[in-house]
Amino acid sequence: MCTNPPPPPPLPPPANLSLSKKLERSEPANEITDYSNVCEWASDNPQLWEVCAKYQICLNQEPYRYTYRNFESILQVGPTCGLVALSMLIGGEVTPDELLNITKMEGYSNNGEMLSCKDMAKLAEKAFSLAEIDIPYTLKKGGLFSIETIQNLLNGAILLVPYDADYNHSPCLRQGHTAHWALVCGIIIIEDPGESYTSNPNNVYVLCRHGKSRFLAAWTLDELNRSNMNLWEFSPKKAEDGLLYVLPKGGIGGENGLREQFIMFNSL
């Protein structure tokens, strides 16, 4: 594949990086056959109720803490997952097609691919200006599964997070070959975490939307973090599909790419 200019090769993954394509996660012990009395604490919010019933989260008791903000789903056309997630964030005030035009003019993308968190932050600024809204944001390096991030989510922050997507769009580990963007719009702390929110990875779920489904998803913040940390290289398959992609200097695993980076928005 041709790039303009050709990026240097990405940094090699560390020797102890798991090459497993799927992340281990807790599976529900039993199938639910009667949904009539589950997740009553979420009954006033159909989207929240549906995702918690589906993923069997707090079926019979209210979570220790949770926040959720609903965004209308937008389905992506082509490799525009990041543009769609950003458009959802601002309520469609700037459409994915309008964002695509901006990315082409600014040189961020050719087909809608957003392979740099830094460029995504610049695009967000332009989108906010067009929509005449002011949303404070921070480009974060690492620390997705951290006390700071969890506390910010509980206080209403929204995240744009790149990760590797499995066949069902849940986080996986494919070294960046299936890189995708998700809008993190809520968090659930199932039980009292005691001294630290990060003491039990299976106790913290995030609620997410993305461009390949109309349905809200729930994943542990830990698995999303591990997927974000494994974004080492652009897909070799896509590199040979005949399209011209804009890759950041240093590749997606470098400091200008996606790995161990995300964007946090406050005060929506």
On whether residue 26 sits in a domain, the answer given is: no
**The total number of structural domains that make up the chain:** 1
Domain that holds residue 98: 52-192+203-265
User: What mean pLDDT comes out for the span 141-153?
Assistant: 96
Distance CA 163, CA 177 (A): 10
On average, the pLDDT of the chain sits at 90
**What is residue 109's predicted lDDT score, i.e. its pLDDT?**
97
Read off the CATH number of the domain in which 118 is found: 3.90.70.10
Hey, what are 195's tokens? 């001294």
On whether residue 180 sits in a domain, the answer given is: yes
On whether residue 81 sits in a domain, the answer given is: yes
On whether residue 27 sits in a domain, the answer given is: no
Q: Is residue 144 predicted with pLDDT exceeding 60? A: yes
On whether residue 84 sits in a domain, the answer given is: yes
Q: Is residue 138 predicted with pLDDT exceeding 60? A: yes
81 is catalytic: yes
Q: Is residue 264 predicted with pLDDT exceeding 80? A: yes
On whether residue 68 sits in a domain, the answer given is: yes
In the chain, the percentage of residues whose pLDDT exceeds 90 is: 84
On whether residue 9 sits in a domain, the answer given is: no
Distance CA 216, CA 86 (A): 16
Q: Is residue 154 predicted with pLDDT exceeding 90? A: yes
For the stretch 45-65, pLDDT in tens is: 999 999 999 999 999 999 999
On whether residue 76 sits in a domain, the answer given is: yes
For the stretch 182-228, pLDDT in tens is: 999 999 999 999 999 999 999 999 999 999 999 999 999 999 999 99
**What is residue 23's predicted lDDT score, i.e. its pLDDT?**
72
Catalytically annotated residue among 58, 81, 117, 185: 81
For the stretch 9-39, pLDDT in tens is: 444 444 333 434 667 654 444 455 556 789 9
